A and B are shown apart, each in its own frame.
Chain A
Amino acid sequence: MKKILAKEQLCMGCGLCEVYCTVAHSKTKDIIKAYTREQPRPTSRVNLEIHKPVSFAIQCRHCEDAPCVIACLSGAMTKDEESGLVVHDSERCIGCWTCIMVCPYGAIIMDSSGKAVSKCDLCSDLDEPACVSNCPNNALIYKEVK
């Protein structure tokens, strides 16, 4: 499957990945409205990790043997065998935080409602994830990995 890979030597830590992720997962897809008006406030599903001089963006790795899928209490987190995606169904999520406890990447976040989690869906409705398309320094690449 195709995954997002980070090149930390190219990352400037500008945070545009988080901005464009937030917009891509907003209702309006409008940067101003997404940040100022939308309720519930859309959250970025990519974490920009900064510990200077190191910085890179990390999001759900869509693991083969995903610990979050095994641990999920409600069946909200599933592995789609065909696409390889780890899919999160927010309707089924009860916000028990078990997935946050077991994700070794820290890539699952509490959404702004505080009642459910949220994570990278590789922007399935776009040709390429928004964080990748909008990274100004090509520090994020989207490519086929085995």
Chain B
Amino acid sequence: MGAIEAIREVDKVGAITLVSEEECPYYSRPMISELVSGKANFDKMKCREDTFWKSHNVNALTGYKAISVNMSQKLVKLDKGDPVNFDKLLIATGGKPFVPIIEGANRKDVLTFTTLSDAKLLDSKLKTAKSAVVIGAGLIGVSVTEALVDRGLKVTMVELKDFILNLILDEHSSEMIQNVITEAGVTIVTGQTVKKIIGKPENSQLVGGVILTNGDQINCDLVIVAIGVIPRKDLVANTSVKTNRGILVDKTMSTNISDVYASGDVAEAYDFLIKENRLLPLWPLAHLEGKIAGYNMAGKKALYEGGTAMSSLKYFDMPIISFGITNPKEKDQYEILVECDQEKKIYKKILLTNNVIVGLTFVNDIKKTGIFFHLLKNAVNVKKFKSSLLSENFGLANLPPSLRKKIYERQ
């Protein structure tokens, strides 16, 4: 989507072919939980008009799956029909759910939750299912849990680590949201995982429950595996495209093979905070990466400024924004500013090194967090106004005039 728009900004006539397994790929994947909860229908999930292919002059091969790429002949082989040839190729195949080997996981009611078809399948089970176990309490796990609670299911979340959302939050903020989720009727089990999925006594083909590593049994009708996503890079297996965990790209989103680009969850792109390439499967970054790839493919030089870990959460009516380094192992290497208002349930934490913001977590009061993100991204020295960072009315007015001017005139 981002790439197509960028290409068409530069080049109105070149032929674009899009290959997608999904019939309507221009929908918001983060919104599948809204679909299941009933807060949104599919029309609302579409990020673009239905005329998108036509208005952008795209030959859209939807319902087709790319099987392999022949780099020397510049051909993409599809699961059906003729192969497609290319001058430039973008691989934006995204991620797929990571499903570990669990005994008994071959049952039909063991599901994953990343695509529209996953959401539709889950929805179809909710007419009869009364309870569910969600394995993994990251973003996907929490989002599907909220949707299931909205649909009246009894949900148990099982998280291997000591606290939920541990890749995004620190212990304190995690506990705050854990309390809210528990109050909504969800059982949260931490430090455990599922070692076995068992069938129902009356029909062993149906999911009846799970056995945890400590031997406890939790009965349920559905199991949702939400441990994480891994890059879907099968397409470049047996090619000379360099990969690590994802496909490696430079700042133009080009792979090591000329004319072959990658973007989104399949790519390992630049993180400006740690100054290395890494996997960051996040929607805003995927969109931007696609756009940068599109410009370069169409011949307009554009460099990816990089991204970093960033999450905004809305689940269970507890707004949370967190980005950068939020829960470091070596805490003494950071200056940590904390404000905690128990009564208002507000928690704010900022991590700094050498007077530069490197991480932030705000719970329940998330206003103007974008200003902090800007300061982090541009490695601004905040020494002069550090004492005001956590004040309730912090804003652009607290910044020194020269800096304020710079941000104000960013446009």
Question: Chain A residues in contact with chain B, CB under 8 A?
Answer: 3, 47, 49-51, 54-56, 58, 61, 63-64, 67, 70-71, 73-75, 91-92, 94-106, 108-110, 114, 145
Complex interface: chain B residues within 8 A of A104 (CB): 370-371, 373-374, 407, 410
CA–CA, A145 and B408, complex, Å: 13
Docked Cα-Cα span, A104 to B374, in Å, equals: 5
Minimum CB distance partner of B393 in chain A: A50
> Quick check: B314 and A100 within 8 Å, CB to CB?
no
Contacts of B283-327 to chain A: CB distance below 8 A: 283-284, 287-288, 291, 310, 312-314, 317, 319, 321, 323
Q: Find the B residue at minimum CB distance from A54.
A: B397
Given A97-B366, A102-B373, A74-B31 contact (CB < 8 Å): yes
A56 x B397 contact (CB < 8 A) = yes
A106 touching B396, Cβ below 8 Å? yes
Which among B41-49, B153-161, B248-256 touches the partner chain? Answer: B41-49
B40 touches A (CB below 8 Å): yes
Determine how close the nearest CB of chain B comes to the CB of A4; give it in whole angstroms: 12
Q: DSSP class of B's interface residues: helix, strand, loop or mixed? A: helix
Of the residues A58, A64, A97, A109, contact of B396 by C-beta under 8 Å: A58
Sample 8 A-B pairs with CB under 8 A, ordered by A number: A49-B397, A58-B408, A73-B31, A75-B47, A101-B312, A106-B367, A106-B370, A106-B395
B242 lies within 8 A of chain A by Cβ: no
With a cutoff of 8 Å between Cβ atoms, the chain B residues found around residue A50 in the complex are 393, 397
A100-B369, A101-B369 known; A51-B388 Cβ under 8 A: yes
Q: Is A101's CB under 8 angstroms from B323's CB?
A: yes
CA distance A92 to B44 in the complex (A): 6
Q: Which of B46-85 contact A (CB under 8 A)?
A: 46-48
Residues of B within 8 A of A67 (CB): 284, 370
Q: Are A97 and B319 in contact (CB under 8 A)?
A: yes
> Which residues of the partner chain B approach A96 to less than 8 Å between Cβ atoms?
30, 312, 314
Specify which of B31, B284, B314, B374 is in contact with A70 (CB 8 Å cutoff): B284
Q: Which of B284, B287, B321, B373 has the most CB of A within 10 A?
A: B284
Tell me the residues in window 1-37 of chain B with beta carbons closer than 8 Å to chain A beta carbons: 2, 28, 30-31, 34
Query: Bound complex: CA of A120 vs CA of B313, how far in Å?
Result: 23
Contact of B368 among A61, A70, A106 (CB under 8 A): A106
- A101/B373 in contact, CB under 8 A: yes
C-alpha gap A58/B2 in the complex (Å): 29
A47 adjacent to B395 (CB under 8 Å): yes
Chain A residues within 8 Å of B319, by CB: 97, 110, 114
Residues of A within 8 Å of B310, CB to CB, are 101-102
Minimum CB distance partner of B311 in chain A: A101
CA distance A16 to B321 in the complex (A): 30
Query: Which residues of B sit under 8 angstroms from A71, Cβ to Cβ?
Result: 283-284, 287
Contact B321–A101 (Cβ < 8 Å): yes
Cβ-neighbour of A73 out of B283, B388, B410 (below 8 A): B283
Known: A105-B407, A114-B317. A98 touches B284 (CB 8 A): yes
